[in-house]
Amino acid sequence: MATKQGTMEEMVNVANIKDAYLDKRVFITGHTGFKGSWLTAYLHWLGAEIKGYSLAPEYDNGLFGLMGKKLPTETVIGDVRDIDKLTREIIDFEPDYIFHLAAQPLVRRSYDLPSETFDVNVAGTAKVLEAASKLPGPCTIVVITTDKVYENKEQDILYKETDTLGGYDPYSASKACTEIVVGSLRRSFFNLDKINQHHKAIASARAGNVIGGGDWSQDRIVPDIVRALQQNETVGVRNPLAIRPWQHVLEPLNGYITLGSLLNKYPEKYSSAYNFGPLPQDHLTVKELVQLAIKVWGNGNWEDTSSPTAVHEANLLKLDIAKAKSELGWQPKLTASEAIRWTMEWYKKPVEEQLDFSFSQIKAFQSL
């Protein structure tokens, strides 16, 4: 792990991203989930050796299920709260990189399972970092949180990484707490002043609302749209006027991978938090997303199913991505409309073609 700063030319030149991950050992928590499975596929395409640690998938028809035994990825079914098992698996693998995505990721579920949400997201992260601290060799760690870590004022502003952390619902609050855990353990156990002793670097990544093929989670807008359209039913939409930073799943993953590679080379510069979201003009309402999705699908209708007794969800949320653009040389490649089209085209593919189509999208995205 190098320790001097890179030049802007080195930062922007991400064409050599394969060199950063080729034949490197990458440990991914939450690899059976939506984003985790796409990250697994992306890093496999880059030539990494991958070990995933996760709970069993909640559904069989996602990208993880499609990959099955077709990719040489070692899978360990386990809970990040099981510190002994987690530590053993990490130490045995001796990863060059750890991407921590394992989480309870749903706002509405967090109202049903508040203590579990905090336990998984906060204590689980602390245990991943504690396990990583036992590694004898160097390791680069990227912790994935969310755009919802900010104290949301429901105003038309762009939240930047230095803004106040907070959270109305248990999910958002748990992720804000996760960021505090990352900051604390970075200072306590992975202090940059002692990096020549521990050789570890940690950054956190805050992404907006992510869409893409292979997501069949409950209570997510795109899976809800697709399930309704496949069954020729009307799409029920709650909070149609809520504004979100929609982006295709490959956008933040490209950010995580870019951040990881630069953090590995220049830990003093990149050991901090980064937002990954769309450009300001691509912050769309839920209604706009649904209408575009139906247009790409070719037919369908939607209706407002908002309820005055529903649990609170944010109505307005936008991210400032200036830091990622200026420091990482990262920027969105797809407009919101293109992200929706890429997503719906994936779902329109026959099941037997979806895995190959996923890799064709990775290749096409990387060439943009």
* Cα distance from N-terminal residue to C-terminal residue, the chain: 29
- 301-313 pLDDT tens trace: 999 998 777 666 6
Could you tell me the two tokens for 345? 């085209």
Q: Average pLDDT, whole number, for the chain?
A: 92
Rounded Cα gap, residues 272 and 108, in angstroms: 29
Rounded Cα gap, residues 323 and 53, in angstroms: 30
What is the pLDDT at residue 314?
63
For the ranges 106-115, 118-127, 249-258, 355-364, the lowest mean pLDDT is seen at 106-115
Tell whether the model's pLDDT for residue 149 goes beyond 70. yes
* CATH number at 8-366: 3.40.50.720
Q: Assign 303 to helix, strand or coil.
A: strand
- Output b/e per residue, 11-23; b: 16+ Cβ within 10 A: beebeebeebbee
Rounded Cα gap, residues 54 and 115, in angstroms: 20
Confidence of residue 8 (pLDDT cuts 50, 70, 90): very low
φ/ψ (deg, to 5) at 332:
-60, 145
Could you tell me the two tokens for 184? 């604390």
Rounded Cα gap, residues 71 and 26, in angstroms: 14
Residue with tokens 């939450």: 30
Could you tell me the two tokens for 205? 């990544």
- Residue 29 or 61, more confident: 29
Highest mean pLDDT range out of 2-16, 167-181, 315-329?
A: 167-181
Asked if residues 276 and 205 have their Cβ atoms less than 8 Å apart, the reply is: yes
What are residue 244's DSSP bridge partners? 284
Strand ranges for the chain from DSSP E: 25-29, 49-54, 74-77, 97-100, 139-144, 200-207, 210-211, 235-237, 243-244, 247-248, 273-276, 284-285, 302-304
Q: Assign 276 to helix, strand or coil.
A: strand
Instruction: Work out whether strand 210-211 and strand 247-248 pair parallel, antiparallel, or are unpaired.
Output: parallel
Domain boundaries along the sequence of the chain: 8-366
Rounded Cα gap, residues 322 and 362, in angstroms: 24
* Residues 6+ positions from 274 with CB-CB distance below 8 Å: 161, 203, 204, 205, 206, 255, 259, 323, 324, 327, 328
Asked if residues 219 and 108 have their Cβ atoms less than 8 Å apart, the reply is: yes
Look at residues 284, 301, 294, 282 and name the one whose alpha carbon lies nearest to residue 348.
294
Tally of CB atoms within 10 A around 148: 24
- 219-264 pLDDT tens trace: 889 999 999 999 999 999 988 988 888 999 999 999 999 999 999 9
Rounded Cα gap, residues 328 and 252, in angstroms: 12
What average pLDDT does this structure show over 274-279? 95
* Residues 6+ positions from 327 with CB-CB distance below 8 Å: 11, 269, 270, 274
Confidence of residue 280 (pLDDT cuts 50, 70, 90): confident
- Calculate the CA 286 to chain-centre distance: 20
Could you tell me the two tokens for 304? 């407002």
Tell whether the model's pLDDT for residue 343 goes beyond 60. yes
Q: Assign 128 to helix, strand or coil.
A: helix
